Amino acid sequence: MKTHFELNAVTKKLPQHLHKFIVKQPYEEYTSQNQAVWRYVMRINVDYLSKVAHKSYMPGLEKTGISFENIPHMEGMNRILKEIGWAAVSVDGFIPPNAFMEFQAYNVLVIASDMRTINHIEYTPAPDIIHEAAGHAPIIANPEYSEYLRRFGEIGSKAISSAKDYEMYEAIRLLSILKENPNATAEQIDEAQEKVEWLQDNMGELSEMAQIRNLHWWSVEYGLIGRLENPKIYGAGLLSSIGESAWCMQNDVKKVAYSLDAATVNFDITKPQPQLFVTPDFAYLSLVLDEFANTMALRNGGLKGIEKLVKSESLGTIELTTGIQISGVFTNVIPHKNNKVAYFQTTGKTALSNRDKELIGHGITSHAAGFGSPVGKLKGINLPIEDMSPRDLKAYGIYEGEFMTLEFESGIIVKGKAITGTRDLRGKILIITFDECTVTYKEEVLFKPEWGIFDMAIGKAVISAYSGAADIASFEDASKVSDIKTHKITYSETAQELYSLYSDVKKMREEDTVTEEKILAIFNQLKLNFASDWLLFLELYELALKNDFSIKSAILSILKALKSNKSYTKLIENGLSLHEL
């Protein structure tokens, strides 16, 4: 199979519908200033994080092959990650939450391949390669955390979204793209910000997906670990932000014990977080995840599960006690007492499966207009249909060729002639197929004979409801890649001239061809044309100091003058601290 990304033992397991989110890493589009930003952030971060990050961080950097000097090539990083059972693929910014979670379930780290600009060197609301590669990758080298991440993806990909969740995803994606684009106008950013804030205030009851995204944010992205009084950092958002990694350690940042309560605490990607959650260890993360999974329709099914699917207006699946799975867009459910289901209905293409494999003759072509079925036990008969032996079925008048009336405890009545039954490998009956069938509930007609064959799914209860299809091969891929693309930045001639100077400095450092004359020439060009570019002055100072060139004093004077600009003060001080003798 030919793909547009590298296949290995991990990535070849990815289902086809996830391939469309993967893009080629635009390595040639990284400027030499981008490379300098990567180097600066990595060196500052590692210097600081070696003291405050979880003990897995430093060994993890080495295990995942992340260099301080250069933005990683995805292919090389991918080859190293496979040694710990993971892989990495490049994506364009934020991808839909369900897809993000599903990648995790397959042990694949999605890496937004964009690179933050120098104006957002401390923090960017947009996912970028510093956040993904230098934030996420090192901690997954820890086996216990790695399994938590995989399991999180497995459970999270089944979480049911609300109809508003996708709108929020698109709004956040647009805002993050605009904030990282130097060519975006203040008006565009303000408009996008207002939409995100309005949606945040008008989401209504949090969906399962919204809640599990909160758990993801407060653990995988912004998690602390250890004791409340002196925690360590493991969340990728903190590990990749030279501003927030220091900020979060301050006493005035509230530290809260991590628990299931974090699922109801929303976050704002554009602002520092008002509190952070601390887990005692990685094992506890899995306990909370399992506790949350116990609240999901995935494990509870029932009336509430189908109601969540109806509200989602998206493809979902329910499973009955027999193991039969119905996948489609659920549009109606008739309730029975005690969170039970009397009848459910899908609209449009529907497929029936068992053990995640489509049943022969029950794909979307057979059920193109939708599917409905009663659920539960028959009135006055204690033995559920699913537990009846062939002898029991005959005793109760349920067998092929017979016209019968089945009245359920819920009040659903099925009248028709049984044609055949479909059983699983164990002999348990999954479907009874009727001809000349009428299905009613009180005065409402749910199925008419002229509509054709009626397939009745067998099961006394709905035991599970979740997002997506039971058999992913049953449906054409309906999910889509966002139409809002990460903006490709266009650079002026002046900017390209600056990046050329960055390139010259990088080449001198890497090839060890540094001379005082070369540094002086670049220094003079910087003073004349790019007097506020503190990062390149810092790189020149590093080389001059290392080689004990006399020009080091002049460069240091410029840097001290630039420190008067509050935007640069801390950045320059941090950079200089790396070179203190």
Q: What is the pLDDT of residue 530?
A: 96
Q: What is the pLDDT of residue 156?
A: 95
Q: Which two structure tokens, joined as six digits, stand for 469?
A: 């299809």
The number of beta carbons lying within 10 Å of the beta carbon of residue 328 is 26
Q: What is the pLDDT of residue 481?
A: 65
| Dist CA 97 CA 103 (whole Å) | 10
Count Cβ atoms within 10 A of the Cβ of residue 339 and give its class: 0-12 exposed, 13-18 middle, 19 or more buried: middle
The number of beta carbons lying within 10 Å of the beta carbon of residue 276 is 22
Q: What is the pLDDT of residue 372?
A: 98
Q: What is the pLDDT of residue 482?
A: 62
Report which secondary-structure segment, H or E, holds 276.
strand 275-279
Q: What is the pLDDT of residue 339?
A: 86
In order of 287, 296, 304, 411, the CA distances from 337 in angstroms are 32, 20, 12, 11
11-290: CATH topology is Phenylalanine Hydroxylase (1.10.800)
From first to last of the 581 residues of the chain, give the pLDDT tens digit: 456 666 777 888 898 889 988 988 888 999 999 999 999 988 988 888 889 999 999 999 888 878 889 998 888 888 888 888 998 888 887 788 888 899 999 999 888 888 888 888 877 666 788 877 888 888 998 999 999 999 999 999 999 998 788 777 778 778 877 876 777 888 988 898 888 888 877 777 889 999 999 999 999 999 999 999 999 999 988 888 877 888 888 888 899 999 999 999 988 776 778 899 999 999 999 999 999 999 999 999 999 999 999 999 999 999 999 999 999 999 999 999 888 999 999 999 999 999 999 999 999 999 999 999 999 999 999 999 999 988 898 888 888 888 999 999 999 999 999 998 888 888 889 999 999 999 999 999 999 999 999 999 999 999 999 999 999 899 987 566 666 666 567 788 999 999 999 999 999 999 999 999 999 999 999 999 999 999 999 999 999 999 999 999 999 999 999 999 998 999 999 899 887 64
Q: What is the pLDDT of residue 240?
A: 83
Structural contact between residues 302 and 340, judged by C-beta atoms closer than 8 angstroms: yes
In order of 498, 512, 565, the CA distances from 524 in angstroms are 13, 21, 21
Report which secondary-structure segment, H or E, holds 446.
strand 444-447
Report which secondary-structure segment, H or E, holds 554.
helix 552-562
